[in-house]
Amino acid sequence: MKKYWIITAMEEEAEGIINLLNLDLSKSYENIKIYENKEYVLALTGIWKIQASIWTTILCLDYWVQWVINIWIAWNLRWKEANIWDVYIINQIIQHDMYLPFNGIHLNYAKGVLKIPYTPSISSNDFDFWFYENWICATWDQFIDDEEKCKKLREDTWAHVAEMEAFWVASVAREFWLLNNTIIIKGISDGADADALHIPKDTIKFAMDNTIEVLKKVIN
C-alpha cells in the first residue's frame, strides 16, 4: 500500500515535490506523467477538471493509498485578506460555473458545497509566510485575469481562492470513500487581475515553494 498520492497540474508545481520525495518516472502517457516510490505516487495531470478527474479516478483504481493530496497554485480572490505566496488548507470547495435551472437533494453531489472533513494539525508559527486553515475554494473552468470576474466570483461564492481542479479531485475521492483522507493545499500565485497572465516564473516558484513547506508538515 502506498501511503500518499499527490495530484498536481503543472511541471512548475511538480518539480519541487518530485525532488523532495525522490520520485522516479514510472509511466508516461500523451499528456500525463506518473512518478512514484515505495510510499508516494504523484500524477502530473495537466490543467483543467477533465484531466484532474480522469487521473484521480485512475489512481484510485490502480493504487490503494491512505491519503489523497491535491496541491496546486491558485488565484487570490480576497486581495486584502491574503498575499501572494500565502498558503491555504481548503475545507470547502464550490463548483461555481455549473448551471442547472433546478435544485434538489439528488443534485447536491454536483451543485452543493463539497466539504473536506479532515484538517491537518499545523501551526502558522511554523512558517515565514501566512498559512490559513479551513478556507473556501471555488473551482471553475476559466483562467481569471479580470478584476470584474474576480469580484463576481468572490460575491457569488465568498471563496478565498479559485482554481480549476480541486472540486473534481475531491468528488472522485468521495466516490472511492477517500474524502475523509483528502487534503487540499493551495498556494497563492497572483491576484486574479490583469497581471495574472504575466506572472513571473519566480513568483510561481515562490508560491509553490511555500506550498511544499506546508506539504512537508502534512506528510511528517
pLDDT for res 194: 47
CA distance 100 to 107: 9
Q: What was the pLDDT predicted at 2?
A: 67
Q: What is the pLDDT of residues 11-59, one digit of tens each?
A: 777 888 999 999 999 988 888 889 999 889 998 887 778 888 888 888 8
pLDDT at 111 over 90: no
DSSP 4-49: EEEEE--HHHHHHHHHHHT-EEEEE-SS-EEEE-SSEEEEE--SSH
The answer to whether residue 170 scores a pLDDT higher than 90 is yes
Q: How far apart are CA 60 and CA 122, in angstroms?
A: 27
What is the separation of C-alpha 137 from the centre of its chain, rounded to a whole number of angstroms? 9
Q: What's the confidence (pLDDT) of residue 1?
A: 61
Q: CA–CA separation, 24 vs 149, rounded Å?
A: 40
Residue 200 has pLDDT above 80, yes or no: no
Answer whether 186's CB lies under 8 Å from 87's CB: yes
Choice among 6-15, 38-47, 78-87, 147-156 with the minimum mean pLDDT = 78-87
Amino acid (one-letter) located at 209: D
Q: What is the pLDDT of residue 35?
A: 94
Give the fold, CATH level 3, of 2-219: Rossmann fold (3.40.50)
H or E stretch including 65?
strand 65-76
DSSP states along 146-174: -HHHHHHHHHHH--SEEESSHHHHHHHHH
Strands 87-95 and 131-139: parallel
What CA–CA distance (Å, rounded) separates 159 from 161? 6
Q: How confident is the model at residue 80 (pLDDT cuts 50, 70, 90)?
A: low
Domains of the chain, by residue range, sit at 2-219
pLDDT band (50, 70, 90) for residue 178: very high
Query: Which of 50-59, 135-144, 209-218 is predicted with the least confidence, judged by mean pLDDT?
Result: 135-144
Number of H helices, E strands in the chain: 6, 10
